[in-house]
Amino acid sequence: MDGISEKSSKFMNIKFLLVTFSALSSLLFFADDTYAWGAGLHIKEGVFMLDNLKLILPHIASVLKAFPYDYLYGCIGADIFIGKGHRRRDNHCHNWSIGQRMLKLANSKETLAFSYGYLSHLAADVIAHNFYIPNQLYLTSSTKRFGHIYWEFRSDEYIEKRYWKIAKMVINRHNHHNDEFMQDIIKRKLIPFRTKKQIYSHSINVNDIALWQKAVAMVSRSSRWDVKKKDIDFLNRVSINMIISLLKNPNSSLCFNYDPVGTDNLLSSKRKRRINIVLNGRYPVEKIFKIPEEVLNLSFI
């Protein structure tokens, strides 16, 4: 029995190392992309909305209640488009214009629910791309390319396993109608959509969620930079308030005052860090990208 136990232990260690390698490889592969919150956090926010439909407009709530999985697929769908970068352009998949065009052209209740999920994703990314990621890039010596996806990876450290299970279920469902709908709206085809989705699905479909989270924890312990749970919880709450604002005021939400891509802050974060070091002779220790009061004053939850 001891021999079997020892072999099992060795197998688990090898499996853990493979999962860790997969996690780190994903970081490197996506290092030039504009991710923010990970799939786990986007799903958590989407599930919260489905559990609290009374907080949003009744006609939107009825669509989400009837087609919850289409809504949740929309909540992660924007991140299928790898290679999108963080430069501002009209056809960027994280532009409000893309989400609003989806809403306008939705040809079924399913694609309508998906479109609201897609817009919910963008509302949450306003907080991540304009404040969370830029502040982390400003405060640390991580490179802009690697640091962006690294901090997204770290933000999923505290997400409960059930949300990752839901994410796996959502990405593995038959979503052909929503996939076709997305491809009709977003025409950029440098990398074929099917390839993009396979890569993104692989990042969610890690076989052992517990080992994946263990890999994230190992990366976190090895890092000299801390990500506090209370900070992620706070930013998650602000993100949810932004989503509620959108789904209560789909034509005039406060969200639309901010860029979901976060181009300005993302591009300036490292330049401001270098200037601070030159002027003060030391590394910065205070965040400089402050969440505006009008956003903090949203108090739906």
Mean pLDDT of successive 10-residue stretches along the chain, which has 301 residues: 50 47 47 56 96 98 98 90 55 82 95 98 94 87 56 70 89 89 79 63 57 58 65 94 98 95 89 91 91 97 93
pTM of the model: 0.80
* CA distances for 144 relative to 6, 75, 148, 149, 272, angstroms: 43, 25, 6, 9, 12
Q: What's the chain's length in residues?
A: 301
Q: What does 209-229 look like in DSSP terms, one character per residue? A: HHHHHHHHHHHHHH-SS---H
Task: Give the separation between CA 282 and CA 276, rounded to whole angstroms.
Answer: 8
Q: Give me the pLDDT at residue 293, please.
A: 98
Q: Give me the pLDDT at residue 40, please.
A: 85
Domain range list for the chain? 34-297
Task: Give the separation between CA 3 and CA 6, rounded to whole angstroms.
Answer: 5
How many helices (DSSP H) and strands (DSSP E) are in the chain?
15, 0
What does the radius of gyration of the chain's CA atoms come to, in whole angstroms? Answer: 19
Contact between 171 and 76 under an 8 Å Cβ cutoff? The reply is yes
User: Residue 219, Cβ neighbours under 10 Å: how many?
Assistant: 17
Residue 40 in 3-state DSSP? Answer: helix
